């Protein structure tokens, strides 16, 4: 029988608690950021229709993987790239969803 990690359980609780409070709309969609050990992912989501409007990550073909993909410089590049894509899609305001990250 698999044991559950207390850190994982706590993170899942935080995610659920945050998602109850944050809802992305067409006027102000939700910016979701996920960090794995190797990569950083960012999505802009409209929760009213359940559709991802814009996405960017360190594994994207347009991303320059010159440095490590899980470090601060990579996160800055992902942020700048998703901001540019959001402006191109006509999105100027978002609600930040940090997920379970502290």
What's the domain range around 68? 6-97
DSSP three-state, residue 6: helix
Q: Is the pLDDT of residue 96 over 70?
A: yes
Q: Residue 83 domain-assigned?
A: yes
Q: Is the pLDDT of residue 9 over 70?
A: yes
Q: Residue 102 domain-assigned?
A: no
Task: State the total domains in the chain.
Answer: 1
Q: Is the pLDDT of residue 98 over 70?
A: yes
Per the CB < 8 A criterion, the answer to whether 30 and 23 are in contact is yes
Residue 65 pLDDT? 66
Which of 34-38, 59-63, 70-74, 91-95 has maximum average pLDDT? 91-95
Domain CATH code at residue 19 = 3.30.420.100
DSSP tag of 1: -
Residue 18 pLDDT? 84
Q: Is the pLDDT of residue 47 over 90?
A: no
pTM: 0.80
């Amino acid at each position: 029988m698999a044991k559950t990690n207390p850190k994982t359980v706590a993170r899942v609780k935080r995610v659920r608690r945050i998602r109850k409070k944050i809802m992305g709309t067409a006027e102000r969609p939700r910016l979701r950021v996920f960090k794995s050990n190797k990569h950083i992912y960012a999505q802009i989501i409209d929760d009213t229709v359940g559709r991802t409007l814009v996405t960017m990550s360190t594994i994207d073909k347009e991303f320059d993987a010159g440095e490590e993909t899980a470090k601060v410089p990579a996160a800055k590049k992902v942020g700048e790239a998703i901001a540019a894509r959001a402006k191109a899609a006509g999105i100027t305001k978002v609600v930040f969803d940090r997920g379970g990250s502290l």
